[in-house]
Amino acid sequence: MLVSPDTSRFLAARLLLGVWLACGAGAQAQTLMDTSAAIGVQNTLNQVQPGVRQVPGSMTVQFDACQMAPELCKDGQPIGTAPASPASVAGQPQPAQAAPAPAPAAPTVPAQTGQAAAEQTPAARPAPVVVPLTAEQQQLLLGAQAQFASGRFAQARNEFEALIVRNYSSPEPHFGLGLALYQLGDLRGAAFEFGQFMQFAPQRYEGPYNLGVIAAREGRYPEALRLYGDALALAVSAPPAARETLLQALATEQGRVKDYAALSATYAALRTANPENVEYIYRHAQTLYRAGQYADALPVTYAVLERKPSSLQAALLLADLYVAQGLPDRAVRELSAAAARVLTGTDRAALLLRQSVLLQAQKNLRGALNAASEARQEDRRLPAAVVREAELLALLGQRAAAIRAYRDALALTPKSARLHGALAALYLEGNQYQEAAQAAQQALRLTPDASTQARAQYVRGVVAYRQGRYAQARAALNSSVLAVPDADSLLWLGLSYYALKDYASAVPVLSESVRLRPTPAARQNLAAALLATARYAEAEALLRGLVTDEAKNAEGWYLLGLSQRAQQRPDEARQSFKTAAGLGSSRARDALK
């Protein structure tokens, strides 16, 4: 966004800060720099820059073109302009003057050929000569700036354009016109004028900075990053506040492209500009962590905690740093210590939830559950704590308690498709088919993500299969597989095809289930489908591997006997049937009769 300046500050070159997003995914646009090329950011009118003369008793400034481009001057005057009067050299106010005479035309020279012509490139063009504004033109400039400050941007645009007609070679009208066009939504026109400003004031950083703002607003983020870098390079001697703002803009674009190594260097520079800014210190630590510089990030994180012991984000980052260095136990202890320092129950709950995750990663499910339960006690309105407790209860096999916890979580977030899907799976596990189907249907009504949709359709499909509704099971399980291909969904889909006697369709589906997760059940069912499609040799090979892995699998031995008998090897088949019968297979005993 762009904040309108007041007239008294238009030429004072103050820098108006926009919203700055230091890191993270949705960076916001910077604010245009409302300043004059003549004066450094946040300086007063009396603190003019080299190459600029302020007119005493007025609020205007004049450019000294010879200080800005001495190679284009002779005897202290720009080549092609009338000599200055003694009064003007002394810096005294001047009466209105006619426009400077144009420079004489360049002499005609013979056309160049060969190497001499090749060496004459656009980069060799002389820099434009800055023609100072006359006293009358300065008054017109003040009038245009006043129109802008009053919010009359169209009138300001017209007056800046009229002034440019009278003096194209002064940077200030171009700058003001750029600001007015920006406010009017003409970004292309604004960019052109800021480009002209850079032509006449190439040493000023405001030009590339404002072009960077426009580039970012238009989504040209790589160009914005380059322009902010250019602006910073020109701001070596700029006031600290100006450099700080330029660094903030640069950080926004570096964060957008996730260049954490460069971003950490930018935050180091911001810390130098403002050493006690806790946000800068934290962002520096965070970017070092994301850049993989864990050892360097550790003391910076402690620097945050020294200044702000109650910082939740710093405590969480500290735990991440210890985990990254293979010290999860230390991370758990640091989280416990931080829980005593934070100021709110919500912050303590966040620390306990992170602790729960770390304990689960260490296979300490009971400790993880205790931490989650403590988090729930700290903030009873925090859905994440209730959900975490429910998940751990389910993992520990406490299904009834897990169902109660999920219901509590749904009381806090009733429109969570994911929670309805999780509850449906628990009901299915307990053979509560009606409740499972209802919870799954509710999840599907809430526009779930692909994973939740797949889970809910899986529950509906298994319920239908177990109730003998194989066509409905096939439809639901096919929807589940289309959302997220999963070994279990594929297994039940294959079983549904098999139950419908569509053996040819069952084989590829069960094959994919085996490929994703070759469980004994999946391999055995695939073998049965292969037998049903008369692919006996393939079935035998699969079953031999199965009974080798599970020597006491009675059904596997029985199916192996069937594959051998189908291939006219009765002796081998009889031996397989005997093994299966000895393991309790009644069908194998019947086959031996």
Residue 528 lies in a domain: yes
Same domain, 556 and 437: no
Instruction: Give me the chain's average pLDDT, please.
Output: 84
| Confidence label for 125 from pLDDT (cuts 50, 70 and 90) | low
How many Å apart are CA 138 and CA 173, to the nearest integer? 10
Compute the radius of gyration of the chain from its Cα atoms.
38
Same domain, 226 and 190: yes
Residue type, 139: Q
- What is residue 135's predicted lDDT score, i.e. its pLDDT? 96
* Statement: residue 1 has pLDDT above 80: no
- What is residue 32's predicted lDDT score, i.e. its pLDDT? 72
Residue 328 lies in a domain: no
pLDDT (tens digit, 9 = 90+) per residue, 126-171? 778 999 999 999 999 999 999 999 999 999 999 999 999 999 999 9
- What is residue 8's predicted lDDT score, i.e. its pLDDT? 35
Tell which of 256, 284, 317 closes a domain.
Answer: 256
How many Å apart are CA 291 and CA 444, to the nearest integer? 40
pLDDT (tens digit, 9 = 90+) per residue, 49-58? 333 333 232 2
Same domain, 580 and 490: no
Residue type, 150: S
Residue 440 lies in a domain: yes
Same domain, 556 and 510: no
Q: Are strands 52-54 and 61-63 parallel, antiparallel or unpaired?
A: antiparallel
pLDDT (tens digit, 9 = 90+) per residue, 21-36? 233 333 344 667 664 4
Residue 471 CB neighbours (<10 A): 11
Residue 102 lies in a domain: no
Residue 220 lies in a domain: yes
Q: Residue 508: which of 538, 537, 480 has the closest Cα?
A: 538
The distance from CA 368 to its chain's CA centroid, rounded to whole angstroms, is 30
| Confidence label for 376 from pLDDT (cuts 50, 70 and 90) | very high
- What is residue 128's predicted lDDT score, i.e. its pLDDT? 82
Residue 460 lies in a domain: yes
Where in the sequence is the domain holding 512, given as residue range(s)? 422-517
Q: Confirm if 323 and 311 have CB atoms less than 8 A apart.
A: no
- What is residue 127's predicted lDDT score, i.e. its pLDDT? 73
Q: With the C-alpha atoms ordered 184, 185, 189, 193, is the resulting torsion angle positive or negative?
A: positive
Element spanning 325, H or E: none
73 strand-pairing partners: 78
* Statement: residue 59 has pLDDT above 80: no
* Statement: residue 217 has pLDDT above 50: yes
Residue type, 403: I
CATH number at residue 175: 1.25.40.10
Same domain, 141 and 3: yes
Q: Confirm if 69 and 132 have CB atoms less than 8 A apart.
A: no
Same domain, 58 and 162: yes
- Provide φ and ψ at 186, rounded to 5°: -90, 80
Same domain, 466 and 578: no
Tell which of 517, 549, 574 closes a domain.
Answer: 517
Coil, strand or helix: which one is 78? strand
Question: How many CA atoms are closer than 13 Å to the CA of 441, on its beta-carbon side?
Answer: 8
Number of domains in the chain: 3
Q: What percentage of the chain exceeds 90 in pLDDT?
A: 78
- Provide φ and ψ at 557, rounded to 5°: -65, -40
- What is residue 33's predicted lDDT score, i.e. its pLDDT? 65
* Statement: residue 5 has pLDDT above 70: no
Same domain, 187 and 48: yes
Residue 147 lies in a domain: yes
Same domain, 505 and 534: no
Same domain, 548 and 580: yes
Q: Which whole-number Å values give the CA distances from 82 to 73, 74, 97, 383, 454, in the listed order?
A: 12, 11, 11, 78, 82
Same domain, 183 and 217: yes
Residue 98 lies in a domain: no
Same domain, 432 and 537: no
Tell which of 229, 256, 283 closes a domain.
Answer: 256
